[in-house]
Amino acid sequence: MGDLITPFIGEKSSMQDDLENLLKLKKFSNVNIIVGNKEFPVHKNILSVRSPVFSAMFEANMRESIENVVEVNDSSPEIMNELLQFIYTDNVNLEVVPIMELLTAADKYQVEGLRVKCLESIMANLSTENFAEVLDIVDR
């Protein structure tokens, strides 16, 4: 019985790692998100379980569901990359993108966990210099 377990000792794999690889390798992707000149091959089922907005898009008889293409005109590829990173892994690097734009994307796609992380970071870094901008975001 020990022989069956031995090959797995020392191997590190987690669901987060596996899902991150799925995103990176684009394996079995079935929909493309297009932002500017960047294309993100992704998976409907993962987007659907993590975002009510994507779920509604793919469940309805909408263009995105029929053509398997989601065109995003109000975001940058960098923001979409971080949004997708969070959707797939629950991890995000808040230091590589403008956090207010990422918060806007999290709100738009109703990715609550990312929204909370963005808000926590904003509150932790609240200052007199960014107070007006934060107030504007909260008001929206």
At residue 9, the pLDDT reads 52
Q: Which domains does the chain have, with CATH numbers?
A: 15-139 (3.30.710.10)
What does the pLDDT look like over 93-113, one tens digit per residue? 999 999 989 999 999 999 999
Structure tokens given for 99: 């956090």
| Rounded distance between C-alpha atoms, residue 53 and residue 7, angstroms | 42
Q: DSSP letter string over 80-128?
A: HHHHHHHHHHS---TTSS-HHHHHHHHHHTT-HHHHHHHHHHHHHT--T
What proportion of the chain, given as a percentage, has pLDDT over 70? 89
pLDDT(4) > 60: no
